[in-house]
Structure 1
Amino acid sequence: MIYGAMKFSIGGSLKLAFRPWVEGLENIPAEGPAILASNHLSFSDSFFLPAVLDRKVTFIAKAEYFTSPGVKGKLTAAFFKGVGQLPVDRSGARGAGEAAIQSGIDVIERGELFGIYPEGTRSPDGRLYRGKPGGLARVALATGAPVIPVAMIDTEKIQPPGKVVPKLMRPGIRIGKPLDFSRYHGMDNDRFILRSVTDEVMYEIMKLSGQEYVDIYATAAKRQIADAEKAAKAEKSEKPEKGEKAGGTPE
């Protein structure tokens, strides 16, 4: 009930304001479970994709969105619940991963659509990064559900990280054909199989999105970028001001 009202309100507003274009809607099954595996460019990805689908898509969201205090916190929690997001406590890395996997399995076992970002976090620079095998592949192999690759196009230009007010422009969504991994059903503890499944899905996402692929995790790339920015700031602060000698004495 709440989801339907939220979808009608938010989805209709998004489609009216941004007019997203979509390719491959026929690849989404009319009924039955499936995993939608998407690249992740913007916070808004979790809203644009459900907005163009007739069926409910459940994504995982950090628990803080559901537990923040005050009026704003309650409104945020109601919003995320209304659009079909599930809270996961990320206080412990392993515990968070297991909770997300079980949540995905629960969604699939209800015969619904489960949305997941294999990169694990938003791309820091618009490129496609290595998928993490712990979530997507384990849910797929534990349930036997088909995996549908999805490519979000230009959403990072609409709402870059840190920007609250989005820019009005048309994003795109390309939905690929379902991938069948039933041949590996029950092998969700084999790390080589998990890696192979994840890489196959990421390759399909790369073909759909046209992004440059980087064979490292996005979290590692973010650390590299942060370290580089920190080093650049330190170097800049150590340089003498214009008009001063290296020793700090004005000329």
Structure 2
Amino acid sequence: MKYVFLGPWLRLLFPCKVIGAEYIPAEGGAILAGNHISVADSFFTPLYIKRRVTYLAKSEYFTEKGVKGTIKRWFFSGVGQVPIDRSGANAARAALDTGIRLLKQGHILGIYPEGTRSPDAKLYKGKTGVARMALEANVPVVPVVMIGTEKVNPIGSKVWRPGRIKMIVGRPLDFSRYEGMAGDRFVERSMTDEIMYRIMELSGQQYVDKYAAKVKEDLAAAAAAGTAGRPVRPVEGRGPGTVTRLPGTKAG
């Protein structure tokens, strides 16, 4: 049961143009690797895909008490969220193991390789967990991008604004050439960069060769120090810190 009550309203208020839906595998496990510019991404991506999409969500969504907590558990379970405990030293491995198990069971797993929502709608460096899962589960990676959700649900806003959005699904990326090489950090980095490059091509986002989580930490530290809004001195030899393509790739 997916969006039985909420779905019709979302479709009415936020019409979405879907391009490339035929690239979603009809059966078997696969990773949907997407950009993440809004909380709304996790609502709209599953809504416009026929197969059920599962996301790994922090366990706090499922442990809140009271009526509000019950509603949250019902909602997140209904839209395919699986709770993951992100605390502790083994949290990352536990998330990987859960994702790999779901993929081997034939599920579609939604992943945001950036690891967190973009602070400014730019595309940031991907974490290699997506590559590890693809290799260990032996599944394709399907790039999926959402466009316009950051306007529907701007950062910090509590009320969504009706508007049109677009979802673009790219051709599945086959990494079978790296079979048996899970754990090789150079292979996993190369795979992740290839995934991010394809997401950049589909979305048209500006790419920043930094982790989004680190950028958020820097912004928070700057705000705490009262320096938010001041120009950030570029790293020597790196220009302003942004590039239009991924390192080691050719612009297409």
Q: TM-score range by the shorter chain?
A: 0.7 to 0.9
Q: Which structure's residues are more often helix, by fraction? A: 1
| Between 8-17 and 104-113, the greater mean CA deviation after superposition | 8-17
5+ long unaligned stretches in structure 1: 236-251
Q: Does the 8 Å contact 2:54/2:108 carry over to 1?
A: yes
In the alignment, what sits opposite 1:195?
A: 189
Larger radius of gyration: 1
2:73 to 66, 70, 77: 77
The RMSD of aligned alpha carbons is 1.5
Q: Does the 8 Å contact 2:59/2:83 carry over to 1?
A: yes
In the alignment, what sits opposite 2:157?
A: 163
1:119 to 114, 117, 120: 114
In the alignment, what sits opposite 1:150?
A: 144
2:219 to 225, 238, 243: 225
Per-residue CA shift, 1:169-208, capped at 9, x if unaligned? 1111111000000111221111111100000000000000
Q: Does 1:11 align with 2:11?
A: no
Q: Does 1:175 align with 2:150?
A: no
Cα distance between partner residues in 2 of 1:199 and 1:145: 17
Secondary structure in 2 matching 1:41 = coil
Secondary structure in 2 matching 1:195 = helix
In the alignment, what sits opposite 2:198?
A: 204
CA distance 1:23–1:219, change in 2 (3 Å): same
TM-score scaled by structure 1? 0.87
5+ long unaligned stretches in structure 2: 230-252
Q: Does the 8 Å contact 1:150/1:205 carry over to 2?
A: yes
In the alignment, what sits opposite 1:49?
A: 45
Q: Does 1:214 align with 2:208?
A: yes
Instruction: Please identify runs of 4+ aligned residues in structure 1 that moved more than 4 A.
Output: none
In the alignment, what sits opposite 1:132?
A: 127
In the alignment, what sits opposite 1:242?
A: none
Q: Does the 8 Å contact 2:33/2:112 carry over to 1?
A: yes
Matched residue type, 1:101: L
- Sequence identity, in percent? 54
Displacement of 1:233 in angstroms is 6.1
TM-score scaled by structure 2? 0.87
Matched residue type, 1:42: S
Q: Does 1:109 align with 2:104?
A: yes
Secondary structure in 2 matching 1:7 = coil
In the alignment, what sits opposite 2:60?
A: 64
Secondary structure in 1 matching 2:5 = helix
Cα distance between partner residues in 2 of 1:164 and 1:186: 45
